[in-house]
Amino acid sequence: MTRRHGLSTTAIHGRPRRGADWTPAVTPIYQSSTFRNPMGSDEEVLYTRYGNNPNQVELARKYALLEGAERAIFVASGMAATALAHLAVLRPGDHLISSLWIYGGTRVLFDGEFIRHGIEITYVDPDRPRDWRKAVRKNTRAIFVEALTNPVMRVVNVPLLAKLAQEHGIALLVDSTFASPINFRPLEHGADIVITSATKYLNGHSDVIAGAVAGSGAVIEEVTRLMRVWGPSIDPHAAWLTERGMKTLALRVERANTNAMAVAKWASTRPEFLAVHYPGLRSHPDHALAARLLDGYGGLVGLILEGGAPAAQKFVQHLKVITHAPSLAGVESLISEPRLTSHKPLTAEQRAGQGVPDGFLRLSCGCEDAEDLINDLAGALQ
Ligand SMILES: Cc1ncc(COP(=O)(O)O)c(C=O)c1O
C-alpha cells in the first residue's frame, strides 16, 4: 500500500477518510470472538482467530502503510511473528542464513525448533560481510537479520544483503523492532518481509504483548493461513491498545531518539563509563551506515560501567526515574543488564567476546525529560 501522508498522520489516521455522522471518532473495541453471519452466505466468516476482527484489520492496515507494505498481519507476540514469517517461506530441508547478532529468544526458536523441523541454519557474523555470500547454498531460501542489534546497537547493511538475496532468489527477512518504521523501513531498502515485536515501539506503553509481519500480499496470505491453523491471533483488546499506542508512535520515537542522543553524549563525558554504544555517536563503528540508512538513531544506549557486575548492580539500585526491567521502547525509560537477561545463557567470557562484559547496562530511553534522565544517571553514579 502506498502512503499518501506523512508517518505521523498515517500512524494516527491510517488512510484518512470521512466517517458518517454520529459514528465513533476512534475504532471501538470489538471484543467478540464471532460475528453474525448473513443467512446462506458463502463469504468468509468473521472469527477473531482468523485475523478478520475489525480491530485486527484496522491495525494491520495502518502498520502496512507505515512500512510501505502491500499487507500486514498482527499476531499474539513478536515471537509468533518471527516464527510464522519464517515458516511462510521455509520448508523442511531448506537452509536459512541468520545473522549472529539476534535476540536470544529467536536464537532458541531457530536452534531448538527449526532444526528439529528439518531446517538447516548457518550463522554469519555481520562484521565479516563476505561470509554472507559464502554461506549461500542451493537450498538456501531465506536470510534473517535484525536491522539494529541488541545491546551494542550495531547497524546491519540491509541494502547490501537485499542485493545478495535478489541475486539468488532468496527472501530477506528483517526484524526491525529496535528501529520502528519511524527510524527505518526495511522494505524501502529491498527487504521482502519485516517482522516487529509490537510489544515494543508500536504499542509503546509496556502493557501489551503483540507482534506483526508486513510484506507482499502472497507472504501475508501464507502467514495468515499459518496463524489460523497454529492459532496465535491477537486478542481484540490488545489490538485496540496497540492501535491507540501507535497514534503517538512518531512523537514517542522522536522523543526517544532525542533523549538517547542526549544521554549518550553526556555519558561519553563521564569517566565511570568505559564505553558508550550509540549509533548517533561518531565513535560508533556503524555511525556512517546509520547516518545513511536511518531517519533516527533510536532510543537505546549501551553503557559499560567501570567495576563490572557489582558496580552495575549498585548503580541500578540508586535509579529513581529509570525502571530496572527487561524489554524496551515504552514511554518509561527501562534499564537492564544483558548478563541477566538476553545474554544469560552465555559464559562471562563469551559475553565479553561479544562486547557485552559484566557491567554492561542497556538503557531504553523513554519520553521523560532528558535532563531528568541524565540527573537520575548522574545521581546513581555518585
Ligand atoms: C528484537 C526482538 N525481536 C523479537 C522479540 C520478541 O518479542 P515478544 O516479546 O513480543 O514476543 C524481542 C523481545 O524482546 C526482541 O527484542
Phi (first) and psi of residue 183, to 5 degrees: -95, -25
**Ligand 1, atom nearest to 326 Cα:** 14
Lowest mean pLDDT among 1-10, 31-40, 149-158, 231-240: 1-10
State if residue 308 touches ligand 1 by the CB under 6 angstroms criterion: no
Q: Mean pLDDT over residues 293-310, rounded? A: 97
Instruction: Choose the catalytic residue: 30, 63, 103, 278.
Output: 103
Compare 353 and 54 and report the one with higher pLDDT. Answer: 54
Q: Does domain 249-381 have CATH number 3.30.360.10?
A: no
Of all residues in the chain, the percent with pLDDT exceeding 70 is: 100
Q: CB of 175 closer than 6 A to ligand 1?
A: yes
Sequence-ordered list of residues with C-beta below 8 angstroms from that of 26, at least 6 positions apart, any chain: 244
The answer, yes or no, to whether residue 3 has pLDDT greater than 90, is: no
Q: What is the pLDDT of residue 380?
A: 98
Q: Best mutation site among 79, 102, 213 for ligand 1, i.e. most ligand atoms within 8 A of its Cβ?
A: 79
278 part of the active site: no
46-63, pLDDT tens digit by residue? Answer: 999 999 999 999 999 999
Type of residue found at 77: S
346 — pLDDT class (breaks 50, 70, 90):
confident
Q: DSSP readout, 246-313?
A: HTTHHHHHHHHHHHHHHHHHHHHT-TTEEEEE-TTSTTSTTHHHHHHH-SS--SEEEEEETTHHHHHH
CA of 179 to the centre of ligand 1 (A): 12
7-14+26-246 maps to CATH 3.40.50.2300: no
Query: What would the mean pLDDT of 246-275 be, rounded to a whole number?
Result: 98
User: Is pLDDT above 80 for 201?
Assistant: yes
175 is catalytic: yes
pLDDT at 382: 92
Residues 6+ apart with CB under 8 A from 353: none
Q: What is the mean pLDDT of residues 319-333?
A: 97
Q: Determine the average pLDDT of the residues in 367-382.
A: 98
Mutate to test the pocket of ligand 1, among 173, 177, 344 (most ligand atoms within 8 A of CB): 177
Q: Which residue has the cell 553524549?
A: 265
pLDDT at 345 over 90: no
- Domains of the chain: which residue ranges? 7-14+26-246, 249-381
Instruction: Give the mean pLDDT of 336-359.
Output: 88
Domains 7-14+26-246 and 249-381 share a fold: no
Atom of ligand 1 nearest to the CA of 210: 10
CB 329 within 8 A of CB 204: yes
Catalytic residue list contains 30: no
Active-site residue, 138 included: no
Q: Annotated catalytic residue: which of 49, 61, 107, 270?
A: 49
Pocket residue to mutate for ligand 1, from 77, 180, 199, most atoms within 8 A of Cβ: 199
Band (pLDDT 50/70/90 cuts) for residue 153 is very high
Taking all residues of the chain, what is their mean pLDDT, rounded to a whole number?
A: 96
Query: Which residues does 109 contact at the CB level (< 8 Å), separation at least 6?
Result: 79, 82, 83
The mean pLDDT value for 150-173 works out to 97
Instruction: Report how far residue 64's alpha carbon sits from residue 256's, in angstroms, rounded to the nearest whole number.
Output: 23
Distance 149 CA to ligand 1 centre (A): 12
133 pLDDT band, cuts 50/70/90, is very high
Rounded Cα distance, 295 and 309, in Å = 34
Contacts of 121 (CB under 8 A, 6+ apart): 95, 96, 97, 98, 110, 111, 114, 115
Residue 338 CB–ligand 1 contact under 6 Å: no
pLDDT digits (tens, 9 = 90+) for 59-76: 999 999 999 999 999 999
